[in-house]
Each structure stands twice: as structure tokens, then as C-alpha cells.
């Protein structure tokens, strides 16, 4: 394995679209969503152990999740967990990881990934990532992974690709023309038919020098905040320093802050069985289906005149549905959610309303 390869896993989100199974105290990255005995975080770490050494995998998370990470990844050392004092989106998260990696290896090449995605073709995924790391080692490039779309999906951002770039049998590499936020269904159909648009996976590959130059150009104040505290990283003063830095940082995504502005952005257009597992609807496509096209995960289901529902409950629990079509049904110890699949984009708003009217106990 190349000693210059590092992985940054972003694991600080609360997974509110997977409520009520995903909660603030234990969000979806720490859950066995697929019922295979491993959490999404555990699967992510295992996936990248074939790309870089475990000691060069860093997890950036909210401070309250440190113990859960150590329990799930016991071979990981405390110093590999970067604890955010507050959620400020992905740009500060990545800037923090960059500063820590700069202490370790200024020649690093880095792959950045969310902690809660599903990859079914691990071999192809590793091939694409390793080729990407090779490319950014030889070029001043910010590389993102774009996924070949299979349907007109409105829940993902899109990347419009431009002309192909030739690099050492890396045939899926193209220049990026534009980034587009989540489109409506009509625009999503146009994107799919054009063949030039790819789903934005939220995974990135770059050299430390290239991403630092991008921060210097587009988010210089944020870069300066972290660079100014470099001497305190890895010491007893780190926590206080990071609290101060995060308090001064803007809340901004790496996409909006850098990727949409930079002129050296490329996309590897790949197909390795990717899902961001962002919603119950995305899980519906992955779990087993019964004769009535109900998607059932872990629970036992008896359905009567009920079709195309997504049903999730504790293993072995019996759920009985009658006359229900195209719904999400999620049963936990203290919350039962019944929601139309077509309205699942409102689950975040529902969570906010529950918090306001019922307090934090149910979120």
C-alpha cells in the first residue's frame, strides 16, 4: 500500500431522513441498516482498508460519537478520530482533516467519503479510487466520483461532464462542466436522457497540496483559521483550539465553497453499485420484496390488499397491513412513523416539528 494514501470518513451527520430509526444519539452510520451484522460505518472502514492502511484512515465526527466509533472500530486509535464541537457542514470538516494530515504527511493524497453509503461492487470501487489517487498525484486536480444514473432521481445532485480526459487506462475520467442541485422530475428525466449528467456521490479525491491551494483561493479565512492552530493539533490544547476555530468558521459545504467555483475539477464517471442510503425510499430498492412488492427489512409482514410499502421494524416483530399502498411504515420502541413514500422529503420537517412539540426525547 502507498504510504501517501489517506482516507477521510465524514461521520458527523444525524441521518434525520431515516428517522425514527436514526436518532441524534445513534444516527444511521452506526446502525445495521441492511441487517447484515455490520453498521454502515464498519462497512465503510472495511472498504477503505484495501486502499490505505488503517492508521491512515481518519474519521471526522461530532464529539458525542467518539465512544461509539471506538466500540465499533476497536482497532482505531483515539488520535484518528477528529471531534467536531458543532456541525458546520463539509468544508470545515475537510479543512480540519487536511490540517491533521498535513502534520503527518505533506505529500498525502486523500480520498474523502461519507460514512453511510452502500457500495455493492467493491472491486470496481477500489479500482476507480486507486486510479483516481494515481491521477491526482500527477495532476493539480480536484476529482469527484460521479455515478452513472439509472433513473430520473430527484433526491441527488448532478454533475454535468464535459470532454473526456485520457490518463493511463482511466477511461471514465472527464472534465466537469457544471454542478446542479436536486432537480425536479422533468429536469431529472432530461438529465438522464442526455447522457452527460451523473449523480454526485459526495466522494472526492485530491492531493493535499491541491485542496489546500483551493482553500487558499476560495475559502482563505477558513484555511487560515486551521493553519493558525496547527501547532496545537495532537496536544491537550486541540479541543479548545478547535472549538474556537469552529465558532469562527462559516457553515458551508465543500461543493458550494470550492467545487462549484474551481476550474480544475474532474469527475470519474463510474458504476460500482452505489447508493447513498439517504432515505427510506432508497432502502426500499435494496431490501427483499414480497409478492405485493412490499419492501421488508428484518420484520415479519402480513399484508392484505397492501402493495409497494416500505416496512421496517425490529427483527421478528409482526407487522400487519390492510389496505395500505405506497407507504413507509417504521416501528421503533417509542415511535411509529406512517408516511406516504412520495412525501418522504418532509420527514426532516416532521422531525423538527416533533422536537418543537414533544422535546428531544423522540428525536
Rg (CA), the chain: 21
* Residue for grid cell 475537510: 94
Co-location of 271 and 294 in the same domain: no
**Are 122 and 193 in a shared domain?**
yes
Answer with the one of 234, 251, 275 that is the final residue of a domain.
Answer: 275
139 and 197 in a single domain? The answer is yes
Mean pLDDT of 169-193: 88
Residue 350 zone, left/alpha/beta (φ > 0; ψ -120 to 50; rest): alpha
What is the per-residue pLDDT across 282-338, written as a single tens digit (0 to 9) for each? 899 889 999 999 999 877 899 999 999 999 998 889 999 999 999 999 999 999 999
| pLDDT of res. 1 | 74
On whether both 45 and 80 belong to a single domain, the answer is yes
pLDDT confidence tier of residue 350, bands split at 50, 70 and 90? very high
| The domain boundary residue, chosen from 275, 302, 327 | 275
348 and 221 assigned to the same domain? no
In the numeric block, which cell numbers belong to residue 107? 505529500
Which of 106, 56, 47, 113 has the alpha carbon at shortest distance from 254?
113
Do 17 and 163 reside in the same domain of the chain? yes
Tens digits of per-residue pLDDT, 3-14?
Answer: 999 999 999 999
- 9 with 144, same domain: the answer is yes
Q: Is the same domain home to 73 and 131?
A: yes
**Once rounded to an integer, what is the mean pLDDT over residues 162-178?**
85
Domain that holds residue 36: 5-275
Residue 331 and residue 306 share a domain: yes
| 284 and 265 within one domain | no
pLDDT, tens digit (0-9, with 9 covering 90-100), for 49-102: 999 999 999 999 999 999 999 999 999 999 999 999 999 999 999 999 999 999
- The pTM is what? 0.93
Count of domains observed in the chain: 2
Same domain, residue pair 253 and 293: no
Of 228, 248, 275, the residue at which a domain comes to its end is 275
CATH of the domain at 186: 3.90.550.10
Q: Give me the helices (H) in the chain, please.
A: 40-48, 66-72, 90-104, 122-138, 185-194, 208-218, 220-228, 238-248, 254, 280-284, 347-358
Amino acid at each position: 500500500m502507498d504510504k501517501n494514501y489517506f482516507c477521510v470518513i465524514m461521520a458527523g451527520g444525524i441521518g434525520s431522513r431515516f428517522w425514527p430509526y436514526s436518532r441524534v444519539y445513534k444516527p444511521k452510520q452506526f446502525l445495521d441498516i441492511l441487517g447484515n451484522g455490520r453498521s454502515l460505518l464498519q462497512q465503510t472502514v472495511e472498504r477503505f482498508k484495501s486502499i490505505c492502511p488503517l492508521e491512515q484512515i481518519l474519521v471526522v465526527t461530532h464529539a458525542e460519537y467518539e465512544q461509539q466509533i471506538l466500540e465499533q472500530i476497536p482497532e482505531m486509535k483515539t488520535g484518528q478520530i477528529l471531534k467536531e464541537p458543532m456541525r458546520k457542514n463539509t468544508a470545515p470538516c475537510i479543512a480540519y482533516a487536511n490540517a491533521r494530515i498535513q502534520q503527518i504527511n505533506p505529500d498525502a493524497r486523500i480520498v474523502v467519503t461519507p460514512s453511510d453509503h452502500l457500495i455493492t461492487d467493491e472491486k470496481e470501487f477500489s479500482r476507480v479510487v486507486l486510479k483516481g489517487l494515481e491521477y491526482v498525484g500527477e495532476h493539480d486536480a480536484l476529482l469527484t466520483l460521479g455515478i452513472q444514473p439509472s433513473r430520473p432521481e430527484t433526491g441527488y445532485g448532478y454533475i454535468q461532464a464535459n470532454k473526456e480526459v485520457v490518463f493511463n487506462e482511466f477511461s471514465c475520467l472527464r472534465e466537469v462542466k457544471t454542478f446542479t442541485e436536486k432537480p425536479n422530475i422533468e429536469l431529472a428525466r432530461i438529465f438522464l436522457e442526455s447522457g452527460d449528467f451523473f449523480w454526485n456521490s459526495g466522494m472526492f479525491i485530491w492531493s493535499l497540496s491541491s485542496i489546500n491551494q483551493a482553500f487558499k483561493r476560495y475559502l482563505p479565512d477558513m484555511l487560515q483559521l486551521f493553519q493558525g492552530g496547527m501547532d496545537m493539533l495532537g496536544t491537550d490544547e486541540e479541543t479548545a483550539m478547535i472549538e474556537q476555530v469552529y465558532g469562527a468558521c462559516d457553515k458551508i459545504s465543500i461543493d458550494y465553497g470550492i467545487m462549484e467555483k474551481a476550474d480544475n475539477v474532474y469527475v470519474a464517471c463510474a458504476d460500482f453499485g452505489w447508493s447513498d442510503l439517504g432515505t427510506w425510499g432508497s432502502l426500499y430498492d435494496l431490501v427483499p420484496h414480497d409478492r405485493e412488492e412490499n419492501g421488508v427489512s428484518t420484520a415479519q409482514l402480513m399484508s392484505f390488499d397492501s402493495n409497494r410499502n416500505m416496512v421496517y421494524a425490529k427483527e421478528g416483530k409482526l407487522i400487519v397491513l390492510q389496505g395500505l399502498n405506497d407507504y413507509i411504515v417504521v416501528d421503533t420502541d417509542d415511535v411509529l412513523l406512517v408516511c406516504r413514500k412520495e412525501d418522504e422529503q418532509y420527514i426532516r420537517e416532521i422531525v423538527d416539528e416533533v422536537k418543537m412539540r414533544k422535546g428531544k426525547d423522540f428525536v
